[in-house]
Each structure stands twice: as structure tokens, then as C-alpha cells.
Structure 1
Amino acid sequence: MNIPVVLFFLLVFCIPVDLQDGYSQVPTKQQPTLDGCVVERFADQTIVNCNGLGLTAIPHDVPPDTTVFDLSYNCIPVLKNDSFASLPHLKQLNVSHSCVHHIQTGAFNNVSHLKVLNLDYNDLKVLQKFSFSALHSLEKLLLSHNNLTAIDPESLHNLTNLKCLEVNHNGLNSLNNGSQIELWQGSLGRGCPFAMIGKLQTLLLHGNSIDAIDAQSFCGLFSLKSLDLSHNNITHIPNNSFADLKMLEKLNIADNFINDIEKDAFHSLSQLQDLHLQKNSLSFLHTETFYPCTNLKSLNISFNNLTKTVSKPTFHHLYHLKCLDLSHNKLEFACANLVMFQGLQQLEFLDISFTGDIWGHGNCSHTLQNLTNLVTLKLSYCGIGNIPSKAFENQKNLQYLDLSINILHSLPSDIFISCNSTNLNVNLKGNHIGSLQAGMFSLLHPALELDLSENDFFQVDSYTLIAFHNVSIINLSDNPFDCNCELVAFVEWANNHETQVAGWNDTDTVTDHYKCVNEKYKGKSLEDYSEYCPSKSPNSLKLTEIIVPSLAAVIIVVAFLLYTIKRYRDSRYQPIIRFNLEHQDYLYDLFIIHSTRDVQWVRVFSARLEEEGQYTVSYIERDFPGRFGNLLEAMDHFVKNSRTILGIITMNSLYNADDSGLCRHGLEIARQLEIEQGAHHQLKLIMLEDMDSMMNNLAQGDRCRVFSIIRGKTYLKWPEDGREEPQFWDGLKKIIGNPVVWQDEYAA
């Protein structure tokens, strides 16, 4: 037998530390017994391996100095009296997977030094009284995966040094059989199934059919440190269920059907550090439920039906809590009632995925501010549509932030302004983000990793590229890229930073995750822009360098002449305008692009701008003059001669067949002028309806076209509450500035 086999024994038998040194030595001799077992001798240990030999009885020629005996994977149905009496030095015995269905009362006579007994995976249905009474030195008893339906307390008689009992995956349905238990100290009364093993430290009972526990279930287990009752049928945890378990450190009652935990159920568990309550049917928790558990470090309440914990200080006394999992509940977060995280300054892990929007619909930026030691924060699948400014203020230790699969369309520019975290990994996969503000990550450590896959990046604008400068790994795969020349800057940047862009030029995968989605180039690789932007392809540079400057000069001259002629011909129809010298090219302060179905709102809106703000406002419904041949020509005129274009965004303007084409045309012109002329033309947007619902109601192709116009744009949301209108008007005046055009009178 070689060293790997020795290591196998160490794992199988859970050999105590004081025995391991002997097994690390090279065996001095190997020899088979008459039954084919292998014997290995060490300096002070003898190991006999009879594993998997098809034995139906215990061999008779086993050396009497054997300390470790492996009989696993045989078929020995009965362990008879004195089966091991000739092995007085035995310390480890493995009879697992051996068809054992009966143990006679004297089977373990004369093996009083046995410390580990493994009877897992057999067919035991009952344990005889006093079955193990000779094993007063036994420390670990493994009885998992049998067919036991009850535990007779007297079957555990005399196991005074037992520290670990595993009875997982049996048929136990009750822990109390009503028998009278007599201890060496006296009487504990009826129904204490484990009272004979008062030194027990680990009790594992998961995967049974236990349907109830009470104050007598674990009485007498004063030294117990770990209790596993998971995967049973428990529905109720009554008061004082664990009253004697004052040393308990780990309690697992997950995967049951618990719908109620009485407020004193955890009374006396002041040493508890790890509590698992996940996958039950809890709909509420008493405020005092965890009050005694002042040393709790990890609490898992995921996959329940909790709705009412958020308004109560349920976790206030858990000053040492480091890990809290509330995911997969039906929490209704209300900003005014968010007191549930108060007092958790030591919290390092918080998972509230699949719950609700933690920031609600108000200014809840303070929600996480006291959790300054967070390392991991999971907020996926929460329906989050907006994140308040400075939401992650004071997060100096945050390393993983999961905001995936939400409904975010943008991020505030100061979201990380006071976050001093290093090595931050931010997961924003599966949102609706289409652009980033340039300085968003400027104060973060350059080790930032950012996942923006499966979002709405139709283009990657210059501001977004600037934001990427402080990102070590960026993932933009599986976005709906609208391939045109505007994407070339990103493609060239990605080609120069391909180790920084996850999945870029990845030859190890069959699927290309950077593809065009617009109809003309659908399925084409984003990485080669020679097809969708040949003018900027390296092969066409020499030709364009010759033609483009000359053609541009001709166009500029012709355009200037036509513009001069047109201004002269139109002067008889124009109002007499006096211009601010710095803005002498504008005819209007504001031009409003809107749907005909929204004209009533626009009339009231423009009247207030003209009366209170002294702005020169135009919109086609009112100001369409007869000199224009059609609406498109009029739209071009107003857009090109206005300093600021206000786009009124509704489903009518995006989708109404009657005029959505005209609105999009105007927005496209305004967007193009803004790109070409910068601050000389500004496109601003006002959302009269919810942005998320509008975008979700558009077809993919329409979303692509609309988003290519509005991505990265400043917009204001028209307030549903009239009391918030003053803030709206103040914000509007800030983004459009002061009037620069005014008129005295109209020409005849």
C-alpha cells in the first residue's frame, strides 16, 4: 500500500491530529491476509484494508495489533457478538456500504479504544439498546444513509465521550419517543433522545422527515456547537427549542417548511455565529427574534416570503454580523421606513437580489451609508430604475457590486464620487444603459472591472470612451451595436486595448459577441469596420485624403451662396430681429419638437416660457409659415435657426404613425448639428412619460434608432406631482440658459 492509499484512510476515517504523524511514515512491511486484505505496518500503527473484496463475514486472521480496519464496500448483513473482540487496539473502523441491517448487542465487545465508527450507507432500521455501550472512548459515530425511523436513547448508552453524531438521510420523523432517560447525574425526564451523549459537539440530522421540535428535543446537549436540521419537514419553531444549547455556534434549519418562529425560539443562543434559515416559508419575523444572538456573524434568510422586516429594527442588536442574505424575498422597501440596516456597521456581505428597489422612489441615498465595511453588495433583479447620487458614499472596502438585470438607463455622474474602494468589480449586465458620463470613474482605483454586456449601447460616444480610461477590464459584449462610422473610434480604441476589452478578438470562442444589429450589417463583426465604414478603412485613406478636402471646400462655398440668397429672399417674411452680438446666428431661443397629439400640453408649456422666461419660442403647430413647401423643410428651418431644441418625448412622438417620422427627423437633425457645432446647438429632452415603459414598448429596430438619437442626452422628467413643478422649471432654466434672442416687432 502506498502513500495515496494512506491519505485515503485519513479522509475516510477522519483520523485525529495526534494519530496522523504515524501515517506519514513509510510502511515497514506489506502482507496479505488469508482473505485478500492488505496489511500495512507503521512505527506505531497497523492498517488493514479489506475494501471491496465481496466479503460476507469478518475475516478471522486480522492481526491483533490492528488500529485501522476498513471493511467498506462488502456485504456483511449482521455484525455478530464479539466480531471485533480480537482487536483490542482498534481505533478506526469503517463498515460503510456493506449491507449491514443488524448489529447484535455485543458486536463491539473488547474494542474500548475505538474512536471512529463509520456505518454509513447500510440498511439499519433500528438500533438495539446498548448496541454501542462498550465504546466508551468513541468520539465519532456515522449512521447516515440508513433507514432509521427513530433513535432509542438507550442505544446511545455509555457513549460518554462522543463528540460527533451524523444521522443524515434516514427516515427519522420524530426526535421524542417518550422513554425515560436516566443519566449518571440523575433524571432528565421524558423525551430527551440525546441526553446520554452530553459531550456531543456536532449533531447532523439533515435529510430526514422530522416534522416538529420542542424544548425537549435537544435537552442535555450542553456542549453542542453545531446542529444541522436542514431538509426536513419542520413547520414551526416554538419558544425555547434550543434552551440547553448555550454553546451552539452553528444552526442550520434551511430547506424546511417553517412559517413561524416564536420570538423566544433562539433564547440562550448567545454564542451562535452562523444561522441558516433559507428556503422556508417565513412571511415575517418578530422584532425580538434575533435579540439574544448578539455574536451572530452570518445570517441567511433567502428564499422565503418576507415582506414586513423592512419596517422593523429586526437586526439592530447584531453588532458583529458580517454576512446577511435576504435575497429572493418579496420585500417592499420604503425609504421612510428603511431602518433594517441600522446597527450593522460590521457587515461585509449583503445580498438583496430578487427583492425590491432598495432606493424606492424617493431620495434614499442614505440607505447604505452606515454600511462602511461592505465588501460584496448584490442588487441584481431588483427592478432598480434610478440610483441616487452618492449612493455608495464612504464605501472604502467595496470589491464587488452586482447591479445586473435591472432597468437602469443611466448612472448618476457622482455615483462613486466618495467611494474610495480599490479593485472594484461592477456588474451592470442586462440593463438599458447606452452611454456613460466622462468623469464617472475618475476617482476610482484603475483596477476597476466593469461589465456592461447586454445593455443598450447602440454607439459608444466620446464621453463613454473617456470613462473607460480608468477601467482595467470592460465587457461590452452582446450589445445592439448600430454599425456606422460613429463606432470607428471605439473599434480603434478596442483594437489598441484588446486585453482590456473582454471577449474582443477572442479566437477561443465560436460565437462573436460583438456584432452589428442594424438590418444592413446584421451579424457582421464589429471589429472590422471596413465594410460598414469604408471611408475610414485604412485601404481608402489615400483616396479620401485627396477627394474629401476639395469636395468639402466646394460644398462650403455653394452652401454659403445658397444660404445668403435664401436669407435675402426670406427677409420680407421674417420678423425684425435684434440679436445679441455673441449669438447673432439664432432666430429663436427654443424650438419645440412634439407630436400633434401632445399640442395642447405644448401650448400651455410654451406660453409659460414666453411670458415668464421671456424666451423666443417656436413650434410647427403654431408657427408653420406658408413659404415652406412641406413640413420637413419647415422642421429643418426651425432646428437650424434655434439655439436650443426641446424634444418632447412621449409614445406619440416615438411611435405614432401620423407624426413620429417628422419628430424623429427633427431630433436626428438636432443631434447631428449638436455633434458638428458643439455648444452652438443644444438638444435637450423632456420626458412626459416613463422612459422604461416607452423603450420597452418599442420594437428592437425602433429602439435602436431612437436610442442613437437620445443616448447620453440630458433630460428632465415632467413631474406627476404638481408640487414638484417649481423644481422642474428651475432645472429647465439651468439647462437652456438665459434668452439670447428677442424681437421688437414684425415686418409688414
Structure 2
Amino acid sequence: MPVRGTTLSSWKEEEEMETQDHIRFVHSKRRDACARLERQRLKLNGEPFSVLKSLTWLDVSRNTLKSAKLGTQPQLPNLVTLVLSGNEISVLQKNDFSFLSNSSAFRVLILSSLSLKKVENGCFQAIARLSDLVLDYSKISFQFTTSLCEELAGTALRNLSLKNTQQVSLSNTTFQGLDETNITVLDLSSNTMTKIANGTFQWFPRLESLSLEHNSLRHLTKDTFLGLGNLRQLNLQKALIKSHTSSLPIIDDLSFHHLVQLEHLCMANTAFREITEHIFSGLLHLKTLDLSWSITGLKTVTNTTFASLQDSLHLQTLNLTAMGINKLAPGAFSSLGNLITLLLGHNFINQQLKGDELEGLSNIKEIDMSINQQSISLTNTSFIHVPTLRTLKLARALKGTLDMEPSPFTPLVNLTFLDLSNNNIANINAGLLKGLYHLKVLKMQHNNLARLWKTANPGGPVFFLKDATKLSILDLDYNGLDEIPLNALRGFFELYELSLRGNLLDQLHASVFDDLQSLKYLHLQKNLITSVQRVTFGAPLSNLTELYMDRNPFDCTCESILWFSEWLNSTNASIPGFPQSYICNTPNAYFNRSVMDFDPLSCKDMTPFKALYILSSTAVLMLLFTAFLVHFQGWRIQFFWSIMVNRMLGSLNDESITEGRYAYDAYIIHSTEDKPWVERSLLPLEDEKVNFFLEYRDAIPGFSQLDTIVENMGKSRKIIFVITEMLLKDPWCRRFKAHHALHQVMEDNRDSLILIFLQDVTDYNLNHSLHLRRGMLKPRCVLYWPLHRERIPAFHQKLRSALASTNRVN
């Protein structure tokens, strides 16, 4: 209602101004991405969108707009998607989209839920780059559809959606205007369509995906799909249906023979009279065929039922779920040699599988026969012709016994997934899974295996899992198990998930789960477990990700629950239902209370342990301190110890170093490449009255090299080898110097020779080149050049000690 004191016209002007302000506000918030203005009662005045230079997505649906024209001037240069759904637009006028003439990025136009009656010539000329057009749930006539297709000629259209647009029938001229486009996707679903004329799709030579689901087609002929030679996907789910007053729809032979490139054909929930001899002929590239939940029903699958697919050499998946099948004849799938997946679940197969029913499936990987009303019985040869099988699903499908030798599953050497759940299995033997060394998943829930694992079972427990130690997932829910034999789960080092919910487990052996160190998921809910102790559950709970142990009658006493209580409060594992579903049953003090309420301190008298704790902690800390001190500062301690000992023994007396017949303290042997190191690291010691002989420095000119070596080695108290890889390759050192040095060692003592290692040289190479070994010398005469600068003084001190040692034989 207008406000008192204002006129009706002025009130309307104010409302329009408020609307324009709202548009500007919303756009200013979303200027770089998108604008959603549905249900805003927009009244466009001027050019409200002209400032949105970066807008890519604009939704003005359900605003009672009368026209698709949102401006008079070119604007929105980066717009990609425009949504005009649910407005009151009935005519697409010539200049409606002229405001997008400069929008080079524009691709998607959504005109859903409109009542369109007319399209003017040239209305799409300004948006010729259009690639996606959606008219879902719009009310359009047969004539409008024809005119629309003519106007779309010359556009870049690739995807056209006409879902639920009341297209009751299609003629061979309906889409004639689209022959000049590159449409690859066409959606005609949910149109209650009853008839498609021959040649209707001849205008779509590039179409790759066609959806006709949820229609009411009565007849498919051999020319219904004429022209669709490039089609890859065809969806006919619920496209042919039977009413109470009509007969079954008909699919003629060769109805699909034009679809030479078709890869996926979906006919789920489709009614048709029968599968004829040539119904699928021509589908040379078919990969997937879905006939599930068909009203037709097959009853018996014979060796001719799918003979029309014998040329479909690429067929990999055949879905026959809920097809009313009650029998598989010998060679039923013999024409499908390349099939990988065969789905036969939710049928009524009632027979004994002898093996020839699956003959010819030489490449099969998965067979699903689950939920067949427990009417299939197996023999020793049931799967003898499908050794390539990896997944076998037989849930709620079997009757009779599996206690036979050899097992029906023995031929399946490549099997990785086996589902035997909901079969009331009670009698099996230890060889059930013999040969299944690759089995990863075993589902046996909802059977009757309690007797097999009882200690009192005649002949002892049946270890039917012993050959499947590579299992990752094992499901034994609801089997009435009240005990687990000690070795039942032995060797399952790769088990990832174990489910034992809904059984009657109570007392468990201490080491029954010891090998389950890779376990991540453990399901033990709804059992009779009262005690959770480390000796039993320590291994499986050590690396657990999720634990399900709720709804057990826990005994909340120190002996039964202390360790579990501490584990629950410290673990990082996920425990769904904790604490509300972890309830104590005994004793009375904790009855009907959460395990979380259990007080661990009530189990411990801390006084005797305090002194022990302090003593042990101190000892550990001292040990750690000593270890770190020796590791990081041991060389420094050794350095000062050496100085102290030498001073006490007087070995640092300079006069004792040069006494006797020796003119030099040491003769230094090194390679030419190590000369810089010798001058930098050893010669500075001569400042301390240590006298070295260096051949390149101290040799007398004119004397032969051999005489120089012999004479001056004899005048030296020690002989120093600077060991590097280059020294080992020196011919003079190998042939003469090392030989003469060894001669002096034999004359004097092991102390007369000093080895300084600049590189890590093995004893083998040292002996092979110089006939020397570390073991020939005393440890103080074998030195290593340190890598750390601060340890060089310690090295020099060790060298002084080695030089100062006597050569006299003790």
C-alpha cells in the first residue's frame, strides 16, 4: 500500500529506484564472478548491468520479466552463462540478445520453465557463439520446436536440452534446421513421447549422446536411429513402457544397426516384447549393455539369446539384474568371449551350476549372482571355465552344502573378492578357500559358522581361512560365534579390516589377535565381551584407525577394564558411539554407567612407586647425559687427558725428542698433490723444535734419489706416511719408500712408523699398495685428520705424543 501523503506514481518510482539500488549492491559484491538475482521483482531501468565488466554468470530467473532483453547497449563482455528461467517471456524477439553482441565468452543460455510461443528471425544472430541451450520444463509446441531449430542454424550449438517440453511426437523434419550445427548432446527425456518418425535424427551426424529416458515409445524400427552413425551413448531407461491397457512395445530386428559407434546402451526399466535373434545386430563397438529391471523377463538364457551380440567384440559389461531369469542353459554366454562383467543379481535362478553354463567367458573378471532367493547349488566344476574371475558375489543365492572336495572355488586362482553372505552356510571344510592365494575380501556374514570354530567340534576347529592369509577385509558378522580358535587368525599380517559384530564372543585367547598388526578397522559391537586386556587386544589396537566395540556388557573392574580405559582416553583412533554406547554391566558401583566414568587411580597405590620412579628417572637422565657428553665432547676429553699424561711422564721434554743418533724427528712421505696440506698442517710444528725431513726441501743436490731416501730415513726417528689414494698410486712409494720404511720398522719398533689418513682408505688397498696394515702399528701411531676445525689441536697433540714415543723394544 502507498504511504499516506504520497501519490501512486511517486510510490512506484521509489520502488523502482530501490530495485535498481539492490541490483547495483549485489553486483558490487559479486563483480568478479557471478550474480544471482532470482525472485527479486526486478524492474529494469536504464543499463543496470553495464558496469559489470568481469561478470561471468548472471541469474535473473523468476522475476516476471516479459522480455529477454536486459539492455539496449552492448555490455557484459565476459559473460558466459545467462539464466532467464521462470519468467513471463513468450516471444524471443530479434534484438533480445543484442546486448550480448560483444560478449565473446558467452556460451550458455538457460530458458527453462517458460511458455514460449514464437521465435523471431535472427534472434540468435548476436549470440552465434552459443554452445549450450537449455529449455527444460518449458511449454513449447511442435511448430515452435521446428522454428527454434531453424533459428539455431549457423550457431556453435553443441548441447541442446529439451527435457519435459511436451514433445509428444517427432517428425523427420522437426530438427531439420540443426543439420548445420555441431550438436553432440541431445536430451529429450521426460516428454511422454509416443512416436519417433523414421529419419527424425538424420540431421545429427555428429551427435554423441542421446537421452530418451522416461518416455512412452511404442515402437522402434530399423530406421528410428537413422543418421546417428557417430552416437556413443543412448539412454532408453523407461523409454518404452507398458500401460494397463496397452500391449508390450516392439523393438524390431536391426533397430540399432545404424549405431555403428555406440559404446553404451541403457535399457533399464524398459518394457519390450522379446529379445529377438537380430535385435542388437550392428552394435560393433558396444561396451556396456544395461537391460536391468526389464519388465520383459528372459526366463531361460540360451546360447542364442545374445547371439546378436557375437559381433560386438568390445562388449565388456552386461547387466541382466532383475530380468526374471530362472535358468542358464549350457553355453548361455558363449558368444560373449570378451565380456568382463556379468551382473545376474535379483533373479530367480534355480539350478545346479555344473560349469558349462559359463563356458566361453574366457575374459570374465566379475560375476554377480547375489540375491537369487537361495536357489543355486554348486558343484566341484561350477567355475571350471572361468579361471580369470576376480570378483564373485553369491550373497543370498546358495542352497545345499559347500562341504565338498575339491572346493567349488579351487579353479578361481585369480579371485580377489568373494561374497558368500546370507546363505545360512553351516557345513564347510578346511579346504574351502584352497588355492585362493590372491583373495583380498571375504564376506561371510549372516551364516551359521558357530560349530566350526568350537573347541568341542568333532575333529577340532575347522581352520577354513588358513589358505587366504593375504586377506585385507574379513566379514564374519552374525555367525553365532562364541569363541575364536587360537590359530584361526594366525598369519593374517595384511588384514586391514575385521568385522565380528553381532556374535556371542566373550573370553578370547591371549594371543588370538597377535598377528593383526596392520589392522585399521575392528568391529566387535553387539557381542558379550566383558574384559579388554592388553595381552589380547594390544596388537590389534596398536595401529587402529576406527574401533567399534559398543554395546558390550563390560566388566568395569581393575582386572578387566583398566588398560582399555587408559587406552580409550589416550588413543587418536576414532571410536564411534563413545562414550554413550560403552556401558558398564558390572560391578554394581558402575552399573549402567559409561566406561569413561571408570577411575584408573582406584587400581593403584602410588606410594611404593615414587622412590623407584625418582631413582630410575635419575639413572636414565645421567646415562643420557654421559652418552651425549662422550658423543659430542669425547675428543676434547681425550685431548686434555693426553696432555696431562704426557706432562706427568715428562714426554713433552723437547730435549728427549732429538737425543741419540737421529738428525730428524720424522721423515715425511706424501704425494705431490698433498704438498699444500703438509706445508699448512705439519710444518708449523717445526716452530716447536720439531725437525722434519722433506725430500723436495732437504735433499742435497747432486745426490741420487735412492741414496737420499736410504740415508735420511736412517737419520729419522719416525717415518710419517700421509695416506691418500694418490699416495697409493705413487710408483716410488710403492716400489722403494714403503719397502725401506718396513725395513726400519723391523730394525727399530712398531712405534717408528706413523700413518696419517687424510682419506678413508681400506686395509685391503693399503696392504695391496704399501704392504702395510693398521694392525701392524700401535693405535697411537694411526692418526686421522679431523673434519671439524675445532678438533685440529687434539690431532696435533696426538701427533706430538706419537713423535715423542720411544723406539726402543721393551
Change (3 A) 1:366 1:134: same
Amino acid at match of 1:439: S
Q: Deviations over 1:52-87 (max 9, x none)?
A: 334345564123554432222311142554541231
Question: Is 1:163 equivalent to 2:227 in the alignment?
Answer: no
Does the CA contact (< 8 Å) of 1:28 and 1:41 recur in 2? no
Rounded to whole Å, the distance in 2 between the matches of 1:83 and 1:367 is: 66
Counterparts of residues 518-597 of structure 1 (less than 5 Å): 522-529=591-598, 538=602
Question: Is 1:367 equivalent to 2:432 in the alignment?
Answer: yes
Question: Is 1:199 equivalent to 2:261 in the alignment?
Answer: yes
Decide which of 295, 300, 320 is 2:363's aligned counterpart: 295
Rounded to whole Å, the distance in 2 between the matches of 1:240 and 1:8 is: 55
Amino acid at match of 2:234: L
Cα distance, 1:308 vs. partner?
4.2
Decide which of 136, 144, 147 is 2:213's aligned counterpart: 144
Question: Is 1:88 equivalent to 2:154 in the alignment?
Answer: yes
Query: Based on CA coordinates, which of the two structures has the bigger radius of gyration?
Result: 2
Rounded to whole Å, the distance in 2 between the matches of 1:514 and 1:163 is: 58
- Give me the TM-score of the superposition, normalised by structure 1: 0.60
Q: Deviations over 1:443-489 (max 9, x none)?
A: 33344532211111133467535565656354321112345554343
Q: Counterpart of 1:235? A: 298
Cα distance, 1:275 vs. partner?
1.3
Cα distance, 1:383 vs. partner?
1.4
Decide which of 499, 502, 513 is 1:427's aligned counterpart: 499
Rounded to whole Å, the distance in 2 between the matches of 1:221 and 1:83 is: 33
Cα distance, 1:192 vs. partner?
2.6
Rounded to whole Å, the distance in 2 between the matches of 1:327 and 1:7 is: 51
Cα distance, 1:263 vs. partner?
2.2
Decide which of 453, 456, 461 is 2:528's aligned counterpart: 456
Q: Deviations over 1:703-733 (max 9, x none)?
A: xxxxxxxxxxxxxxxxxxxxxxxxxxxxxxx
Counterparts of residues 344-359 of structure 1 (less than 5 Å): 344-357=412-425
Q: Counterpart of 2:112? A: 51
Decide which of 142, 160, 169 is 1:78's aligned counterpart: 142
Decide which of 297, 306, 315 is 2:383's aligned counterpart: 315
Change (3 A) 1:53 1:377: same
Does the CA contact (< 8 Å) of 1:378 and 1:403 recur in 2? yes
Q: Counterpart of 2:401? A: 333
Amino acid at match of 1:347: L
Counterparts of residues 254-653 of structure 1 (less than 5 Å): 254-284=321-351, 285=353, 287-337=355-405, 339-357=407-425, 360-361=426-427, 364-385=429-450, 386-387=452-453, 388=461, 390-395=463-468, 397-421=470-494, 424-460=496-532, 463-465=535-537, 470=542, 472=544, 473-484=546-557, 486-495=559-568, 497-500=570-573, 502-503=575-576, 506=579, 511-516=580-585, 522-529=591-598, 538=602
Change (3 A) 1:515 1:466: same
Q: Secondary structure at the match of 2:292?
A: coil
Comparing 453-462 with 409-418, greater Cα deviation is found at 453-462
Q: Secondary structure at the match of 1:442?
A: coil
Change (3 A) 1:318 1:29: closer
Rounded to whole Å, the distance in 1 between the matches of 2:481 and 2:521 is: 18
Cα distance, 1:442 vs. partner?
2.1
- Give me the TM-score of the superposition, normalised by structure 2: 0.56
Rounded to whole Å, the distance in 2 between the matches of 1:328 and 1:538 is: 51
Q: Secondary structure at the match of 2:512?
A: coil
Question: Is 1:108 equivalent to 2:175 in the alignment?
Answer: yes
Question: Is 1:126 equivalent to 2:195 in the alignment?
Answer: yes
Q: Secondary structure at the match of 2:223?
A: helix
Question: Is 1:153 equivalent to 2:222 in the alignment?
Answer: yes
Change (3 A) 1:458 1:99: same
Change (3 A) 1:337 1:192: farther
Amino acid at match of 1:415: A
Q: Secondary structure at the match of 2:418?
A: strand
Change (3 A) 1:489 1:212: same
Q: Counterpart of 2:764? A: none
Cα distance, 1:278 vs. partner?
0.7
Rounded to whole Å, the distance in 2 between the matches of 1:296 and 1:40 is: 56
Cα distance, 1:491 vs. partner?
4.7
Cα distance, 1:367 vs. partner?
1.4
Does the CA contact (< 8 Å) of 2:240 and 2:271 recur in 1? yes
Q: Secondary structure at the match of 2:259?
A: coil
Rounded to whole Å, the distance in 2 between the matches of 1:338 and 1:39 is: 75
Amino acid at match of 1:438: A
Rounded to whole Å, the distance in 1 between the matches of 2:558 and 2:513 is: 27
Rounded to whole Å, the distance in 2 between the matches of 1:286 and 1:489 is: 56
Cα distance, 1:342 vs. partner?
1.9
Q: Counterpart of 2:279? A: 217
Rounded to whole Å, the distance in 2 between the matches of 1:145 and 1:2 is: 36
Q: Secondary structure at the match of 1:464?
A: helix
Amino acid at match of 1:515: C
Does the CA contact (< 8 Å) of 1:454 and 1:477 recur in 2? yes
Does the CA contact (< 8 Å) of 2:407 and 2:434 recur in 1? no
Change (3 A) 1:3 1:114: farther
Rounded to whole Å, the distance in 2 between the matches of 1:289 and 1:520 is: 64
Q: Counterpart of 1:681? A: none
Cα distance, 1:324 vs. partner?
1.3
Rounded to whole Å, the distance in 1 between the matches of 2:595 and 2:518 is: 26
Q: Secondary structure at the match of 1:244?
A: helix
Change (3 A) 1:414 1:40: farther
Rounded to whole Å, the distance in 2 between the matches of 1:514 and 1:92 is: 59
Cα distance, 1:160 vs. partner?
2.2
Cα distance, 1:273 vs. partner?
0.9
Rounded to whole Å, the distance in 2 between the matches of 1:250 and 1:226 is: 5
Cα distance, 1:144 vs. partner?
0.5
Cα distance, 1:220 vs. partner?
2.4
Consecutive unaligned residues in structure 2, runs of 5 or more = 1-31, 37-54, 59-76, 85-91, 454-460, 610-810
Identity of aligned residues (%): 22
Amino acid at match of 1:290: L
Cα distance, 1:143 vs. partner?
0.5
Does the CA contact (< 8 Å) of 1:46 and 1:68 recur in 2? yes
Cα distance, 1:301 vs. partner?
0.8
Change (3 A) 1:110 1:420: same
Amino acid at match of 2:233: C
Rounded to whole Å, the distance in 1 between the matches of 2:469 and 2:214 is: 47
Amino acid at match of 1:215: E
Q: Deviations over 1:284-315 (max 9, x none)?
A: 24522221111111211111035444214222
Cα distance, 1:164 vs. partner?
1.8
Change (3 A) 1:267 1:207: same
Does the CA contact (< 8 Å) of 1:448 and 1:471 recur in 2? yes
Consecutive unaligned residues in structure 1, runs of 5 or more = 10-25, 180-190, 531-535, 546-748
Rounded to whole Å, the distance in 2 between the matches of 1:210 and 1:417 is: 54
Rounded to whole Å, the distance in 2 between the matches of 1:98 and 1:131 is: 17
Rounded to whole Å, the distance in 2 between the matches of 1:178 and 1:145 is: 17
Rounded to whole Å, the distance in 2 between the matches of 1:195 and 1:251 is: 19
Rounded to whole Å, the distance in 1 between the matches of 2:133 and 2:427 is: 66
- C-alpha RMSD over aligned residues: 3.7
